[in-house]
Amino acid sequence: MLTRNGARTVRGWMASLATAGALGLALLAPTPADAQVPAPDQERPIAIEGATIHTVSGQVIENGTVVFEDGRITAVGTNVQVPEGAERIDASGKYLFPGLIHSSTQVGLFEIGGINVTIDTNELGTFSPNILAETAINPESRHIGVARSAGITTAVPTMSGGLISGQLAAVSLDGWNWEEMTVRRGVAMLVNWPGPQNQNAYNQSIRALRDFVADARAYARAMDAYEEGASSPPATDSRLESMRAVLAGEQRVMVDANDLRQIQDAITWAEEEGLRIIIRGGRDAEYLADELVARDIPVILTGILSGPARQWEPYEQAYHRPVRLHEAGVTFSVGGESAAAYANRLPWHAGAPVAFGLPADVALRSVTLDAARILGIDDRVGAIEEGLDANILLTTGNPLEYGTQIEQIWIEGRTIDMMDHHRHFFEKYSEKVRQKHGGPAR
């Protein structure tokens, strides 16, 4: 269902519903209580007053005010002029944070594991750089509302398959369709670095990757010559055409690599090819921290809430990984885990390392401003700052802490309905307790 060059395939979410209906799987059809209706556009200015504002890009502002209009933040501070006719929200005793960014997730591409037509994460073929992930997003996914209620307002839906899986986009977790949801297309080209377990297969995969890049470079030279009027056009190849931005240094390459050798070889490959890369996964990135810093290669860490990968590693190895990268000066973001159903755990992946020495402000930046900078979208999101999108969380505390309640979310200034699939069932079974046992449900 992933599309080539933006064209939709025949398979779609409607086909998923039809198939599910034939199978008698009524759970795919959302009930009116938990259907997620995208929020209407902001109609008038909104001023949130009296809150403690964690701007992330600057100082914490006590008893401050944030004003946003037409989806953008227009004022932040303590002596802010509130526009006439604005909706004024008293947030005294509450906190404002920028919306969180999930930089590696299957949200929107994966729904139910047992129903193939709801899974759109894997395209056939070894090299698919012309695949555009955003065009396959299912805006009706129940995982979107659950992730959003955890404070995630921006995500990078990430596919897999082959050596080059395609182009990633940053999307907003609210909207009627993929066009409305897309914040920025082509934030990175995804490369799945081969596993080194089988030496022959590993070497063959690397050679195939090098050959494909060489073909793309030759195609780019031929197209450049044609556009300059120096030659006739080469035969059109949408895959090779899609590599031109990468080879020109205009698009970064996100390399999925965890093993020490994978990361080392990916760094060498990128240096030889003159590519700008991001390491995603990064299990052994701490052992190459000096190289990553020297080459200005950022890391998207995944799977922090996990046990050690090797027998000789201590139980807290994964929790210390962000601490060691931070101390070494590596730019990193926390990507949590890729499974769509667990996207809502992102704040806990970022918050857990704080107990092991990661400064709390660094943890927060890892899922806000640092993530935005790595993805090249910091001109839109990642902080509470004038001119940025009004992606804002109103909370009872730090959103990375388990006990914090996120009371309201705004995405591009739109007031988000806080009902989601999880909350729907919470309300339902709270009512059961009230009916069966009497008294208040909570």
Indicate the length of the chain as a whole number: 442
Tens-level pLDDT at each residue, the chain (442 residues):
444 444 434 344 444 444 444 444 444 444 444 457 899 999 999 999 999 999 999 999 999 999 999 999 999 999 999 999 999 999 999 999 999 999 999 999 989 888 888 888 888 889 999 999 999 999 999 999 999 999 999 999 999 989 999 999 999 999 999 999 999 999 999 999 999 889 999 999 999 999 999 999 999 999 999 998 888 888 999 999 999 999 999 999 999 999 999 999 999 999 999 999 999 999 999 999 999 999 999 999 998 999 888 899 999 999 999 999 999 999 999 998 889 999 999 999 999 999 999 999 999 999 999 999 999 999 999 999 999 999 999 999 999 999 999 999 999 999 999 988 888 888 899 999 988 887 665 5
Pull the structure tokens for residue 134. 């955003």
Q: How many CB atoms lie within 10 A of CB 294?
A: 11
**What's the pTM value of the predicted model, to 2 decimals?**
0.89
Look at residue 435 and give its three-state secondary structure: helix
CA atoms of 109 and 117, how far apart (whole Å): 10
Residues 321 and 355: beta-carbon distance below 8 Å: no
Q: Which of 396, 394, 366, 368 is nearest to 380 (CA)?
A: 368
How far from the centroid of its chain's Cα atoms is residue 231's Cα? 42
Listed in sequence order, the residues at least 6 apart from 263 whose beta carbon sits closer than 8 Å to its beta carbon are 257, 279, 282, 284, 285, 288
User: Rounded to an integer, what distance in angstroms lies between the CA atom of residue 269 and that of residue 236?
Assistant: 27
Pairing of strands 131-132, 392-395: unpaired
Give the closest residue to 188 by CA, choosing from 267, 269, 279, 254.
254
Q: Which domains does the chain have, with CATH numbers?
A: 39-99+382-442 (2.30.40.10), 102-376 (3.20.20.140)
Distance CA 382, CA 384 (A): 7
Q: Which residue has the tokens 């020495």?
A: 357
Cβ contact 286:324 at 8 Å? yes
